[in-house]
A and B are shown apart, each in its own frame.
Chain A
Amino acid sequence: MRAVILDGIVLGLAFGLLGVGMTLVYGLGGVINLAYGQIVVLAAIVISLRMEDGWATVQAALVGVLAAAGVAVLLDQTLMRAVYRQHGEERTLMGLLLTLGAAFVIGGLLTWRYPAGALYINVTGEPVSILGVPMAVGSVWASVIALAVAAVLLLFFGGTTFGRGVRSVIQDETGARLVGISPSFVRTVIFALSGALAGIVAITQSMSGPLTVNAGFELTTFALIVTVVGGLGSVAGAFLAGVLLGVVNSLSAHYIGQYITTIILLGAAALTILIRPRGLLGR
């Protein structure tokens, strides 16, 4: 039982890390970035290519994170310009469709060029014992990275002037404009941050198993579920929702069966929308 819950928490932290990049962009401009999973895959492919060239893992990972952030900024500077000209629901819908198109372009190009591309970062070492449960080193590292990212993000949004500026745009775009904050600049920075987070997701996901070139759609789906359950634009919400869903996932996988588990997760997301559309920690 303890092992199952611990497993769930590890998985949940990965979910949370996956969701946080999407939830920030969603909360900030009302755009659901459906190309998110494909950006993760892009980072994974870049890292694996660097590693094949004999680069050290850390340097390769850094390049991958930068590449993902770069692609995100590119999206922001091109497609998102048109999206942000719209308002309200029209904006969300247009963002949804344009990023869906971007997802096809990125995913299609990657599978075309690297049909067998995959990233697996093998972390060697003895299993670490946590609360008497032996855990694989890879998942421990992934969890530590996820927790560190959560801490940095919470400090950034809670403690820095720029972070508070971002939150002001999330709360009220017009109000932020009135006090001299440029929403478009803030959005570009957050898009870059979201891309970098996608790069980190690529690293942590590939520590526990290979991340293949066609995983994009599945990653986007899970990120979307975490985003919806956690609440728009809430960093803490994303991690809370991630851990909850992770624990539910491993409990039901252990006691009920694997295929029902996915349906239970999807059901949880649907129920959240129906009962509390703002999500767990949404405004």
Chain B
Amino acid sequence: MATTRSRPRFGAVVSGRVGWALLPIVATAAILAVLPSVWFGDSPYTTSLAVQALAFAAYGVGFNLIFGSTNQLFLCVGALAGVGGYGAAILTDETSLPMAAGVAVGTASAAIVGGLLSWIAVRRSLGVIFTGIVTLVFSLAFANLLLGQRDLTGAETGLVVTGAPARIGDDQVGGYYLFAGILVGFLVVFRVLQLSHVGWAFRALRDDEVAAELAGVDVSRYRIYAATLGSAMIGLTGALLAYSAGFISPTTYSFDRVDVRVLVLVAFGGLGTLLGPVIGAGVFAVLDEQLTASLELREVLYGVFVIAIFLGFRHGVVHAFVALSRRIARGWGGRPVEPDPPQDSRPEPPPVSG
């Protein structure tokens, strides 16, 4: 630990050396690679659950890049994925272009939309909350647009997406490896950003925006970069999901199905951490499987989870784990660093009279 003091600390799941920094990704990739053969190789049902979990982990990495790294609350993950998914589906539906073209166009449109939203937020210097409201409004408007443009989107009935080879279907092992592959790719991108000067800028502007600006970090530019790249990740996932599932409808990308879940699982895993979204997606996939009996009770449990996360361990399981392992590494010597005490513990003045 002593030697790492003077040199840059890389990433959130920290280690002093670059090689070590890639270790969690290698480990994740290895686990994902062997999972089908040791667990669910022959069950299409379990495979489709795993594909869902991987897609949500991928959404989570994109959201984490936008919100976790640069503090822009994008409540439009579902809508951005929908821009990707519907963009790709409509393109291959109307023209005879191949799947790759559809995915490329879907990804690019999501990136442009996300970048534009970020540009607006930065230009009008909206805070976290107003960015959240503007993107929420965008989500709702997008959902209405899907329902309204019946000819193009098929409204509630949905849209059958053709043009994908059968082996990447969302209940096929091929589909599993496709999503595992892009997830690992996203993780590598995320880690490389953390290691580069961009990661420094992200951390600086997240900790203190004004100080970062004074230190020469172009806060606006990095915000727009992060939003564009994160939205591209979300759009790519959404587009691939459309092809893999072969069918999309507004509920595939609806706010309550996508955004709420992404928010919960990223918060659970740990905002801004590399593996947070992956761990969160895994835990919630298992949890969902245990709770198939009642959809409503699942919603209640989600609520309890959100409350517990933000009241209890606000920094997610990854940070809790890192803190614990540091304590163990230190041989239980010295007091661990405690979080700030509550700022407002003074007794309140007596209530107003009359």
Chain A residues with CB under 8 Å of chain B are: 32, 79, 82, 84-87, 89, 92-94, 96-98, 100-109, 111-112, 115, 161-162, 165, 177, 180-186, 217, 221, 224-225, 228, 259-260, 262-263, 266-267, 269-270, 273-274, 277
Looking across the interface, which residue of chain B has its beta carbon closest to that of A82?
B311
Q: Which residue of A lies closest to B147 (CB)?
A: A259
Digitize B183-216: 1 where CB-to-A-CB distance is under 8 Å, 0 elsewhere: 0000000000000000000000000000000000
- Determine whether the beta carbon of B296 is less than 8 Å from that of A111: yes
Chain A residues with CB under 8 A of B128: 89, 92-93
Please indicate the chain A residues that have their CB under 8 angstroms from the CB of B348 in the complex: 182-185
Residue of B nearest to A112 (CB): B296
Please tell me which one of the listed residues B298, B310, B311, B343 contacts residue A87 in the complex, with CB atoms under 8 A apart.
B343
Give the docked Cα–Cα distance between A93 and B127 (Å). Answer: 11
Name which of B147, B267, B311 has the most chain A CB atoms within 10 A of its CB: B311
User: Is there contact, CB below 8 Å, between A108 and B127?
Assistant: no
A96: chain B residues within 8 A (beta carbon): 129, 132
B137 on interface, CB distance cutoff 8 Å: yes
- Taking A97-B267, A108-B297, A108-B303 as contacts, is the C-beta distance between A266 and B140 under 8 angstroms? yes
Given A32-B129, A97-B306: A177 in contact with B354 (beta carbons within 8 A): no
Tell me the minimal C-beta distance from B270 to chain A in angstroms: 15
Contacts of B352 in A (CB 8 A): 162, 165, 180-182, 185-186
Interface residues of B in 95-148 (CB under 8 A from A): 120, 124, 126-130, 132-134, 136-138, 140-141, 144-145, 147-148
* A259–B141 CA distance with the chains assembled, in angstroms: 10
Q: How far is it, in angstroms, between the C-alpha of A161 and the C-alpha of B353 when the chains are bound?
A: 9
User: Are the C-beta atoms of A273 and B134 separated by less than 8 Å?
Assistant: yes
What 9 new A-B contacts, CB under 8 Å, besides A101-B302, A182-B352, A267-B141? A85-B342, A101-B303, A104-B303, A108-B300, A112-B296, A180-B350, A221-B140, A225-B137, A269-B137
Instruction: Please pick, from B140, B296, B351, the residue contacting A185 in the complex, using a CB distance under 8 A.
Output: B351
B284 at the interface (CB under 8 A from A): no
* Chain A residue nearest to B305 in the complex (CB): A101
Question: Complex formed: what's the CA distance from A189 to B28 in Å?
Answer: 51
Complex Cα distance A56/B124, Å?
Answer: 52
A51 to chain B, nearest CB (A): 23
Residues of B within 8 A of A165 (CB): 352
B144-A105 in contact (CB<8A): no
What residues on A are CB-neighbors of B298 within 8 Å?
108
Shortest Cβ distance from A75 into chain B, in angstroms? 11
Residues of B within 8 A of A180 (CB): 349-350, 352
CB of B260, distance to nearest CB on chain A (Å): 8
A260→B303 contact, CB < 8 A: no
Inter-subunit contact B307/A102 (CB<8 Å): yes
- Indicate if B299 sits at the interface (CB-CB under 8 A): yes
The answer to whether residues A259 and B144 also contact, given A101-B303, A217-B256, A274-B124 and a CB cut-off of 8 A, is yes
Tell me the complex Cα distance, A82–B354, Å: 28
Whether the Cβ atoms of B133 and A224 lie closer than 8 Å is yes
Question: Is B307 a contact partner of A98 (Cβ separation < 8 A)?
Answer: yes
B304 part of interface (Cβ distance < 8 Å): yes
B350 nearest in chain A by CB position:
A182
Interface string of B71-92 (1 = CB under 8 A from A): 0010000000000000000000
Q: How far is the CB of B156 from chain A (nearest CB, A)?
A: 12
B residues less than 8 Å from A109 (CB atoms): 296, 300
- Chain B residues with CB below 8 A from A228, complex form: 133
Residue of B nearest to A165 (CB): B352
Please tell me if B289 contacts chain A, counting CB pairs below 8 Å.
Answer: no
Given A79-B307, A97-B310, A263-B145, check contact A162 B354 (CB 8 Å): yes
